[in-house]
Each structure stands twice: as C-alpha cells, then as structure tokens.
A and B are shown apart, each in its own frame.
Chain A
Amino acid sequence: MRFLLDAEQRAFADSLDAMLTAADTPSVVRDWSRGDHDGGRALWSRIAKAGVFALAVPEAYEGMGPHPVELAVGFVELGRHAVPGPLVETVAAAALLAELADPLPAGRLLPSLASGEASATLALDGAYALDGDAATTRLALAADGLRLAPGHGPVRASLDPARRLTPLTPGGELLATAPPVAHALVWARLATAAQALGVGLALLDRTVAYVGQRTQFGVPVGSFQAVKHRLADAKIALEFARPLLFGAALTMAPADVAAAKVTACEAAYATARTALQLHGAIGYTAEYDLSLWLAKARALRTAWGTPAQCRAEVLSGGARRW
C-alpha cells in the first residue's frame, strides 16, 4: 500500500503544468470562445504529444493505455489551466471505441485520437455534444446504435463561453449496435472529476493570492477570519476530493468514479462561489481571467452526470462497498 503519486507521476504533472503555464491558456480560451480554434488546436497537439490522450487508448491502437491514474493526473493539470476543447469527450470516445465488439472502427479512429491529429466529441443522451464545431470525430448514440455523425447544428451558448454546445446531425455511419456506454461514462466521469479538481485548485490558488495583496481598512483582506474560513473550507473540500479521484482511478468501479465525480465537482463549484465572493466586483467581470475558471466549475458540475445521478450510482451497488 502506497497511496501517493510516485515520482514519475508527479514529474508528468509538473511538465504539463510548465508547458501549459507557458502557453498563455487564457488567451487561447478567449479565442476558442469566439469560435477561433487555431490556438486551441496547436495546444491540443502539444497536449497529445505529452501523451495525455494516448493514456486512454490501448497499445493495440497506437496508444499507451489504458492508464486511468496518469490520465487523472493529466486532467487535473488541464483543469488547472482551463484548457478548452472536447478533452473529456475525446477520452470517453476512445474508451468507447476501444471496447466495441467490432475492432475495425477502433483501428480506423483511435490512432489519430492518441496522436492528437483528431479530436472527438460524443453525445450519449441525444442532446448536445461539446465543441462539435471543433471536433473531427463526432459520435452519437442513436436509437439503433453508435453512429458517426455527419456534421453538427448551430452552436448554442454555454454558461461557460469556452464550451460550445452543438447538436449533432442525425444519421451517418453505424459503428456498433450495442456500444458499451456505461464503460465510456466511467471514463468521462473520471476525466471530468480530475478536470474539476484542477479547476478548483486554480480558483483557490488565485483567490489566496488575491486576498493576500488586496488591501482594505489598511490590511490585506486575507487577514480577516471570515475570509480565511471560507478559503479553509474550500481547501478541505478539495483535499478530500483528491483521494477519491485517485482511489477511483485505481479501481475504475462505477460507484467509486461517481463518488469522485460528484465530490470533485461540488468542491470545485463551492470554491468558485468562494472565489467570486472574495474577489468582489472584479471577479464578476468577464474580462478578468478568473471568469474562465468560474464558468467552467459551474458547467462541469452537471456534465456527464448530475450530482443526484452520481449519488444514486454510489448507492446502487450491493451491501458493503469499501
């Protein structure tokens, strides 16, 4: 038993963090929100080169996976830097394609997802797919099975401007009649949980820095107990979400992943509320970069399973769970 990230896993996180810090993600996010995907695609390619997507793709399809723990490590960093794009969806699509009874679609589509030449989005409930205007592979679960959607409809705005919601065009090639949707959902929830944890950690860091330098009544506002205690609660929530995330990545049991998903997303969202309140009016502006993380924390909360759905999943198993 050693329930800690090892040196290699920590180094992977550090190298991604350094790369993303240098990439000026806020300006990439703002371009992406306007439908200008150039900067985002370049960043996507670097993230793929670092191996993030390959972690979800089996070696048989030119990936390195499946490695859910390392994937979670990577997605925490993607969340921390508010990286835009169908990140979770690409992972979920890879997990889905890798497990189809017929290996042909996987052989055709997975190598380019692993390398970053392609990106994927996925609609499992028939409504909207994330960033269907940017993704090169659009998968839709139709009544008769999994289809490769031929296109997408008009973009609908999200509460997170960097998340562009698109209906997928009906029809297209039928890839499988009984795709393992539950398996894809587990991967989607794990990646979302990790991304949300990263979003929450970034919100906490930025807010701690802000209240340390913002002065009112002649002292930093971070010296006030009312401010400190809100940040302490955010820290507690995030630090208890973290072990659930990595515990879930080790087991990949649906109940464990659902527990991690609801906990990480609620921790990130609570941290977002605290971050907004403690920044005051400046935090309530779109031009201030904090908004990029605030918006994402709200959106991830209901993506790939609402809090209630995740809690129901936790209780759906047998007698003793852990």
Chain B
Amino acid sequence: MDLTLSPADEAFRAEARTWLAAHVPRTPLPSLETGEGFAAHRAWEAELAADRWSVVSWPEVYGGRGADIVRWLVFEEEYYAAGAPGRVGQNGINLLAPTLFDHGTERQRARILPSMATGEVVWAQAWSEPEAGSDLASLTSRAVRTDGGWLLSGQKAWSSRAAFADRAFGLFRSEPGTPRPHQGLTYLMFDLRAPGVTVRPVGRLDGRPAFAEVFLDEVFVPDEDVIGEPGGGWRVAMSTAGNERGLTLRSPGRFLAAADRLVDLWRGRADPSDTALRDRVADAVIGARAYQLFTYAGASRFLDGGTTGPEASLNKVFWSEYDIALHETALDLLGPDGESADTDWSEGYVFSLAGPIYAGTNEIQRDIIAERLLGLPKGRR
C-alpha cells in the first residue's frame, strides 16, 4: 500500500502545471450557463486541445495522451488547483466518449471523438423526459424505422446545456410493447439543429438557461448514429451511467482546490472564536481528502483489472452532498456578501444544488447501495 507517484507521473504533473500556469485565463471566464460564457469556454477547449490537454486519458489518435487513471487524477488536481475554467465539453467527454470506447464502432470513434476533443462539437445528454426521471426506463420518446435510419419523436427534459450545445445523445423506444420497459430501447445521437428539433431553454434556480427541453418531431437520424444494437440501448446507457456516477464525472482535484480556497477564505475572514464555522471548514478539508483517497483506492482497483460497479453510488452521494456543504460554508463565511449572485462561490453553490438530483437521484443511489452492496431485499420504492 502506497501513495507515492512514480517519477514519470511526477514529471507529467510538472508538465501539466507548467502548461496551465502559462495558459489559464487570468480573469475568470463568464458563466458557462450564458451564451457569451459558453462561447468563451468553447474557445478554451480548443486551446486545451491544441496542446493535447483536453482529453488526456484518450488514445493519442483521438487527441489524447493515453494517460492512465492515475495521470488523469493528477491532471485534474493540477487543472483545478490552477483555477482553470469549468469544462463545457464534459457531458460528451465523460458520458458519451466512454460509451463510444466500449460500444461504438471504429468509424464512429473516428468521426465523433476528434471534434469532441477540440470543443468544435459540444454534446448534451437527452435522458430524462417529463414522465421519465428516476424511472428512466419508462421513457416514451420513439425511434421509428425509416429508409437508412430512424425518425425520432417525443420530448426530452432537463438536458444540461442543450440551450447552447450542438448535438445530443439519449435513449429512444424503438420497439413498443416489450414485456419489460428497459427492453426495446435504442441509443441514438442526433443534431440539435436538425429539422424537426425544437430546443426551449429552461432557466435553472438562478434563471440562467443551464438546461433545456428538447422537442423532436420526426427527426431523421442515420443508422451510423446508433450506438450498439438497436433495441439494446439500456445496457449501453447503463455503462454510461456507471461512468457518470463513478470515477469520471467529479474528480477529486476539483474538491481539493475548492477546499483550499475555502480555507483561504476562512483564514482571511473568519472570527477565530466561531468554532462552529471552523468545524465546517475542517469538514470540507477532511471530505476533500477522503474523496481523493477513496478515488485513489478505486483507481488502484482499476489498475489491477477491476471495474466500477455499484460502489460508484457511494461516490455519487458523497460528492454531491459534500459539494453543497462546502459551498454553504463558503456563503456563510462571506456573511452579507454571501447573497451576491456574481461570485464564484454563488455560481458553485447554485450548480451544487443540482448534484443530488442529476446522474441518478441520491434516493436511487441509496437504493442501489442498500440492495446491491448491502444485499437488502428489493421492495416497492
């Protein structure tokens, strides 16, 4: 058991740190959840990609560096420690790309991944529907067979960044009337600007159009944009969900950097006699370290040939609740300034509030932990 990085990994860390120090914008970019901010973040993706820093864990042929999981964790630590911008390409990079690596064809990878790596094409997810949230398998949006492809119709909801993104991926019912709801679903990719697509931006809590409803009316999708077998989309999508809940969506580096900033804020602002607030700051520091070490343990299992299973649900509940507590502590430390909507802390706070809801609500995650990790009997939800 050890936590020592190899000299080569340390050299990688130094290289990343040097590059980031020279390139990270001095002033923060406008909010990712605005048109202006989205464009600025897209340009940043291109700058990252130009020196092959946008997708370090991908093979070199698609614009990556073939970094193993430890180097990816190291990169993320450096990335957030440097105060670098949020990643506008994250839905594609973290959710769609792993699916393409596992279930896509070589042609699909060659066609889709390079423009994802540069931010030229930004992807949105299209899972939920008005009547299919936690019970995702009950979705009713249809894919109907047509010459050379499929016609998509229906409504998708809560599609993050669909207001500004280029393309989307999600599940559609291609075989109605199957005995079980998760059968007969197909995993498809579509253009958000194709004929028949209407995107209606929806303001999140602070009014910014962070997500959108997507209406589809006989939208044509060619066969080449099906991932995996038609009708076998559930299994393909669940492998994405595993990635989303697991090691890839929220890296420890993000929380280590946030906890550091919180400690700085506390040292600069806090009343030393306020031990209640001090305890919460300590918990933020401890939680970031716990999450880092938990992730290193998971990465070690990966290196030894393991995979992410239901353990990913432990991770998802932990980071989503941690993120809110950290930002609540920061806003309380700011006192009256905590009310301002234009700080990094307030932006992070609003963002964090969605964490326990998306990527499988924390209630669903707790069911998974109880049934699949603890072995408790299934029951009615």
List, in ascending order, chain B residues with CB within 8 A of A240's CB. 287, 290-291, 294, 314, 318
B1 contacts partner chain A, Cβ-Cβ < 8 Å: yes
Tell whether, in the assembled complex, residue A223 and residue B297 are in contact, meaning their CB atoms are under 8 Å apart.
Answer: no
A42 contacts partner chain B, Cβ-Cβ < 8 Å: no
- Give the contacts of B224-282 with A (CB-CB under 8 A): 256, 260, 263, 266, 275, 278-279, 281-282
Q: CA A4 – CA B70 in complex, angstroms?
A: 14
0/1 string, A233-251, CB within 8 A of B gives 1: 1011001110110110011
Nearest Cβ in chain B — how far from A41, in angstroms?
32
Interface size class on chain B is: 35 or more
B7 contacts partner chain A, Cβ-Cβ < 8 Å: no
Tell whether, in the assembled complex, residue A235 and residue B2 are in contact, meaning their CB atoms are under 8 Å apart.
Answer: no
B107 contacts partner chain A, Cβ-Cβ < 8 Å: no
What are the nearest 3 A-B pairs in CB distance? A223-B379, A243-B293, A228-B370
Q: Which residues on A are within 8 Å of B, measured CB to CB?
A: 1-6, 9, 69, 204, 208, 211-212, 219-220, 222-225, 227-229, 231-233, 235-236, 239-241, 243-244, 246-247, 250-251, 256, 259, 262-263, 307-308, 311-312, 314-315, 319-322
0/1 string, B277-317, CB within 8 A of A gives 1: 01101110111111111101101110110000001001001
0/1 string, B323-352, CB within 8 A of A gives 1: 000000000000000000000000000000
List, in ascending order, chain A residues with CB within 8 A of B263's CB. 315, 319
Smallest Cβ-Cβ distance to B282: which chain A residue: A311
Tell whether, in the assembled complex, residue B371 and residue A3 are in contact, meaning their CB atoms are under 8 Å apart.
Answer: no
Q: Which residues on B are within 8 Å of A, measured CB to CB?
A: 1-6, 9, 70, 256, 260, 263, 266, 275, 278-279, 281-283, 285-294, 296-297, 299-301, 303-304, 311, 314, 317-318, 363, 365-367, 369-371, 373-379, 381
Tell whether, in the assembled complex, residue B376 and residue A244 are in contact, meaning their CB atoms are under 8 Å apart.
Answer: no
Nearest Cβ in chain A — how far from B24, in angstroms?
17
Q: CA A247 – CA B363 in complex, angstroms?
A: 30
List, in ascending order, chain A residues with CB within 8 A of B291's CB. 240
Tell whether, in the assembled complex, residue A212 and residue B375 are in contact, meaning their CB atoms are under 8 Å apart.
Answer: yes
Q: CA A220 – CA B221 in complex, angstroms?
A: 48
Nearest Cβ in chain A — how far from B170, in angstroms?
28
Tell whether, in the assembled complex, residue B290 and residue A244 are in contact, meaning their CB atoms are under 8 Å apart.
Answer: yes
Nearest Cβ in chain B — how far from A42, in angstroms?
32
Q: CA A3 – CA B379 in complex, angstroms?
A: 36
| CB-CB under 8 A for A1 and B377, given A241-B290, A247-B289, A311-B283 | no
A contacts with B: majority SS: helix
Nearest Cβ in chain B — how far from A200, in angstroms?
14
Selected contact of A236 from candidates B278, B296, B369, CB within 8 Å: B369
Tell whether, in the assembled complex, residue A3 and residue B279 are in contact, meaning their CB atoms are under 8 Å apart.
Answer: no
Tell whether, in the assembled complex, residue A229 and residue B366 are in contact, meaning their CB atoms are under 8 Å apart.
Answer: yes
Smallest Cβ-Cβ distance to A262: which chain B residue: B286
Selected contact of A320 from candidates B260, B366, B369, B381, CB within 8 Å: B260
Q: CA A262 – CA B275 in complex, angstroms?
A: 15
Selected contact of B375 from candidates A208, A219, A241, A246, CB within 8 Å: A208
Tell whether, in the assembled complex, residue A312 and residue B1 are in contact, meaning their CB atoms are under 8 Å apart.
Answer: no
